[in-house]
Amino acid sequence: MTNRAPWIALALGLTLAGMTHAQQPAPAGTQASDDPYLWLEDIHGARAMDWVKAQNAVTERRFASSPEFARTRDRILEVLDSDARIPYVARHGDHLYNFWQDKAHPRGLWRRTTLEEYRKAEPKWEVLLDVDALNKAEGKRWVFKGAECLKPAYERCLVSLSPDGGDAVAVREFDIPSKSFVKGGFELPVAKSQVGWIDQDRIYVGTDFGPGSMTRSSYPRIVKEWKRGTPLAAAAAVHEARPDDMTVSAFHDRTPGFERDFVVVVTDFFHTENYLRKDGGLVHLDLPSDAAGFDAHREWLLVQTRTPWTTGGATYPGGALLAIRFDDFMAGKRDFAVLFRPDEHTALSSFAWTRHHLILDVLDDVKSRLEVLTPPASGNGDWPRAPMAGAPSMSTVTVADTDPDNSDEYWLSVTGFLTPSSLQRGVLGGGAAETLKQSPAFFDASRFQVNQHFVASKDGTRVPYFEIAPKDLKLDGSNRTLLYGYGGFEVSLEPFYSGSIGRAWLERGGVYVIANIRGGGEYGPRWHQAALKADRLRAYEDFAAVAQDLVRRGVTSPRHLGAEGGSNGGLLMGNMLTLYPQLFGAIACEVPLLDMKRYVHLSAGASWIAEYGDPDDPGQWAFIRTFSPYQNLKPGMHYPPVLFYTTTSDDRVGPVQARKMAAKMQGMGYKDVWFFENLEGGHGAGADNKQSAHMHALAYDFLWDQLK
């Protein structure tokens, strides 16, 4: 059990339903006269949707009606629908589970097989749930959002289904042996719920219990224990968070001999209060509130620090991984073993338990290496460690799955910009891992090479970036180059293989660049903290420095340089547009934040105050305004052509910020401002492969056209 589970859920926007801030009245001091485009915040309003449809028609005619667009879309769709893709799996007991979408099953199949079958070139799959068939039977457009199954039997699961691809889901109990939903079982209507098994007849649930049950961020404020056969209204409250907290959740660890229950209150995106539920009460865990996470596994407690932590007479650095026996910790001992200590070049990306070992995934200048640690048999002594087999240069190796309850089995995903992804399986102590599945090559990688470069940002900080380019690249400034970035929430951009990028950009002769700017997690918490709140401009200075370096080196020139980013990366794009328009020939801005004055009142925006600051506080608005693209737009500027795309069903960031930005720019007289809004797909911009291919092709063809 780990409190990283709710953390990941929140990062992905698995939030609660209820009245969103986009539906609430504007706060005091923000009247309609202050913003002539507030009417676009009425997400499904007739006037707003008429505007969306008109914009879509114009953009489609301009960029999505040519044979070249159709070719790009179809070649991307071939990648997304390919039967030769790796069917990634997760082990639950004796079976390997997979969710699969293709041309014949656009909404997907939830299925499973055995390891023996999976080793075959064409495994036989047992289909558990055909989402397309379910939609046909129910007259719905469900999008599968995952399932949590009750171990160790894994016969009962809580399946989440979204009506439109957004984060709000219906939850239904599913019976694996009969392949059917359980009549009279646990069931929740569409909401942004969080659920977890306690045992066969009890679950933890956070959902929309009615007025007052949501935090300001629109996440669960109350977590309850719900017993089978009783109405949801009779569920017993376990804990209530404060209205200004972000959310609360509870989890049960079913490991035999180590059964425990935990409650986690997320006070903001980077701070938590952690409790052990014991004897009907809660015992506070004396952990740093800003810990990146804690993990209780059998007799061990792991703590990942974000900032230096002094305890037990010792000070541990931020970005470290610490270990102590759980019972010792609860008894007051604080003699932690340091399992990972960062340095100037390294950061801990993740860790994963097997039955007897711990695997660390370490980033060394944004490239992966794995280490295996073995806990001491007694006490809190040294943890022997050994390196795992290396990976190709400029690659990413991640632990895709383990079986910590039963064995030392591990699954590795290996990928690189020019190396088709592979899935390997091994058993620690059992020899080298074997490659079970290999993705095909979707483009000819022999024509290209990958290089990592470093550039000094405005304040002198050394910023890395990856460049994928033709081997015969001419440094004459003429190459159409696409620069991608994110720079937020401690998210790292690591090497990865993309058939879509290869086909839609590289094969055309383009150069693709990924900037590892501050705000991300490439060098651990310090890299993220360097661009928080009042320091946000550092991330944008880093991205601009990479753009300038590409021009300085002769890779491209401003009129041939495009930029792309989504979500927080969309905010990055908005700031490139308004702060550095001279550096770019075109910008694709996807599912973005842009109106930083209103963002805390739009969709789930209040949950990100710890990242950006609170614009309703005049003192914080003073620095937030410096990176709020919507407020920083000016008439008479030479802005590069820009495409905003979003989705109506995005209940995380929401579509209204992209709508308002496009409308405001057009209202100022800017001609090369394009907008497209997909109806489905949520924050991911596509509910199925066909929609995703259309959206990606639109962005790539727009950029290619504008950068000629």
Q: How far apart, in whole angstroms, are the C-alpha atoms of residue 637 and residue 653? A: 27
- Does residue 683 have an active-site annotation? yes
E strand or H helix at 620, and its extent?
Answer: helix 618-624
Which stretches within 194-300 are classed as H helix? none
Please name which of 178, 175, 176, 177 lies closest in space to residue 186, comparing C-alpha atoms.
175
Which residues, 6+ apart, have CB-to-CB distance to 378 below 8 Å? Answer: none
Q: How far apart, in whole angstroms, are the C-alpha atoms of residue 500 and residue 695? A: 12
Q: Taking a C-beta distance cutoff of 8 angstroms, is the pair 141, 170 a contact?
A: no
Residue with tokens 């699969």, as numbered in its chain: 100
Q: Taking a C-beta distance cutoff of 8 angstroms, is the pair 486, 495 a contact?
A: no
Out of 193, 567, 603, 692, pick the active-site residue.
567
Residue with tokens 């209202």, as numbered in its chain: 667
- What are the CA-CA distances from residue 31 to residues 39, 603, 617 (Å)? 11, 19, 17
- Does residue 92 have an active-site annotation? no
E strand or H helix at 266, and its extent?
Answer: strand 260-268
- What are the CA-CA distances from residue 261 to residues 173, 278, 572 (Å)? 22, 7, 40
Q: For helices 46-63 and 689-706, what crossing angle results, to 10°?
A: 60
Out of 95, 105, 683, 696, pick the active-site residue.
683
Q: Taking a C-beta distance cutoff of 8 angstroms, is the pair 482, 510 a contact?
A: yes
> Which residues are paired to 268 by β-bridges?
271
What share of residues in the chain are helix, strand, coil (percent, to 5)? 25, 30, 40
Which residues, 6+ apart, have CB-to-CB distance to 267 below 8 Å? Answer: 245, 246, 273, 289
485-489-690-396 Cα dihedral, nearest 10 degrees: 70
The one-letter code for the residue type at 663 is A
Q: How far apart, in whole angstroms, are the C-alpha atoms of residue 205 and residue 173? A: 13
The one-letter code for the residue type at 106 is P
Q: Number of helices (H) and strands (E) in the chain: give both, helices first.
A: 15, 39
Q: How far apart, in whole angstroms, are the C-alpha atoms of residue 453 and residue 54? A: 43
> 547 in helix, strand or coil?
helix
The one-letter code for the residue type at 229 is G
List active site positions. Answer: 567, 683
